[in-house]
Structure 1
Amino acid sequence: MQKTTINNMARAPKWNAFERFTKRAVWPAYAGCVWALIYAVFVRFYQAAGGAIGMSGQPRNPELGFYMASYLAGVSIMICGFILVGLVKPWGRTVPAWVPWIAGKSVHRAIILIPTLLCTAFLLAHGAAGIVTRALFLAGIIAINLPEHHWIDIDLHDMALWDLLAYEPWFLIMGLLSGLTAAHYAQASGVSLPALRRGTALYLMFVVLLTTLFVCAIAFDFVDKISF
């Protein structure tokens, strides 16, 4: 009996540093929520109110387009930040008591995990591709074309600097915090260790492919009117 137990323990997969960290760490969810609120308030809501810092040009019809888009983006980012907190709270796995008809029911992990992973992939690809392409643009290796009907005038060099030093790093960091939170939620909601490892490997491949697609789309301008 003892020999069988020892053999089973020897065959059990050992947790690596990433798995141990994401299993116990919940702070990335709270950090991600704060990070989202900072960007929503001090960038999106600020620009929606007409703030000029960080703006590299003059948009066409800002009241009808740019300001509203910035406001809606800020609201969406705030919601995403609060959702991250839900992934480490009990109400992320069980419907709260104040919700009518379905209170107390278990939340299937796919309902939260799949949208979170898709948003995380976009954040990571957006940030990584933005940093790479802006650096290449500033080095004079590639050109960046923006839709002319969106802007009256724009300083592309200034835009690239803002993107490289502020905006794109925010996307990358937000993606990392969101990804760590999603990994914690996956383990807390019962995803097995082998499934987690297979899923992580496939997911990283997907993020790399998506990042490559974004880089090519910007560098070679093969997507008409693309705007990051």
Structure 2
Amino acid sequence: MQKANINKISTTSRVNFFERFECFTKSAVWPAYVGCFSAFMYAVFVRFYHAAGGTIGMPGEMKDLTAIYMGMYIAGLAIMFCGFILIALIKPWSRIVPQQVPLIGGRKIHPLIVLTPTLVGAAFLIAHGVSGMITRALQLAGIITIDFPGFVEVDVRDLALWDLVFYEPWFSFLGMMAGLTAAHYAQASGVRQFSFRRGTVLYLIIVFLLTAFFASSMIFNFSDKFSF
């Protein structure tokens, strides 16, 4: 009897969690705006700043500066584009092709066409950020050491601190904003409740496994450099 009550409470808790999550993501569009704003700020004040030769947050001298600066500039443009995509996801024309478009105007866009790249990108951002914070924390604790071959000279501790408190948390944050925006899009596109709930659970498992894979692969790569 007691076991049955515990199972009932557990099931009720899961249902209540999904109900609250569905209610929140169905009405909340602010993650798209916050994500777009953070992407814009990061692109301008980090990537474009470094592309222009800025040194704050880059404690070292890098090799092949021309290629590095071009890479920073391209990355900034890509990040800004991703931010604008989040805004597009909360607009009606991301679900139904505008009538002005020849031949396919007015047709409904299949949710997976938009959700697949968005969720893949969000999973990568979250896994990248969380695994990066784990490995940088291990590095600062003296458990592992990490080489930075792209640098001629670098302050490893300062770079690890920048990664831990700024760069990697930003990746995680933008990934979460993208994930919440994708959840809003899924509900606005009419994805069935059962599919939405099952997909949410599956997606969280995938993100966890991807994060574990990223972290473990980085740790194993540095396993021959353990300092103890």
Q: TM-score range by the shorter chain?
A: 0.7 to 0.9
Q: How many angstroms does 1:103 deviate by?
A: 3.2
Other-structure match for 2:31: 28
Describe the shift of the 1:93–1:156 C-alpha distance in structure 2 as closer, same or farther (beyond 3 A): same
Give the letter aligned to residue 122 of structure 1: F
**Alignment deviations for residues 147-182 of structure 1 (CA, whole Å, 9 cap, x no partner):** x2x221111111100001110111111011111000
Distance 2:189 2:91 in 1: 11
Other-structure match for 1:215: 215
Other-structure match for 1:183: 183
> What is the RMSD of the two structures over their aligned residues, measured on CA atoms?
1.5
In the alignment, structure 1 segments of 5+ residues that lack a partner are 1-12, 223-228
In the alignment, structure 2 segments of 5+ residues that lack a partner are 1-14, 223-228
Other-structure match for 1:9: none
Q: How many residues align?
A: 207
Other-structure match for 1:129: 131
Distance 2:154 2:34 in 1: 33
Distance 1:37 1:98 in 2: 29
Other-structure match for 1:167: 167
Which among 117, 120, 128 is matched to residue 119 of structure 2? 117
Distance 2:103 2:60 in 1: 50
Percent of aligned pairs with the same amino acid: 56
Give the letter aligned to residue 19 of structure 1: E
Other-structure match for 1:79: 81
1:55 pairs with 2:47: no
**Alignment deviations for residues 168-203 of structure 1 (CA, whole Å, 9 cap, x no partner):** 111111011111000010111011111111111111
SS at match of 1:82: helix
Q: How many angstroms does 1:100 deviate by?
A: 4.6
Distance 2:53 2:98 in 1: 39
**Alignment deviations for residues 190-226 of structure 1 (CA, whole Å, 9 cap, x no partner):** 111111111111111111111011111221217xxxx
Give the letter aligned to residue 178 of structure 2: S
Describe the shift of the 1:136–1:107 C-alpha distance in structure 2 as closer, same or farther (beyond 3 A): same
TM-score, normalised to structure 2, is: 0.86
Q: How many angstroms does 1:99 deviate by?
A: 4.2
Give the letter aligned to residue 126 of structure 1: H
Q: How many angstroms does 1:101 deviate by?
A: 4.3
TM-score, normalised to structure 1, is: 0.86
Give the letter aligned to residue 42 of structure 2: Y
SS at match of 1:131: helix
Distance 2:147 2:213 in 1: 16
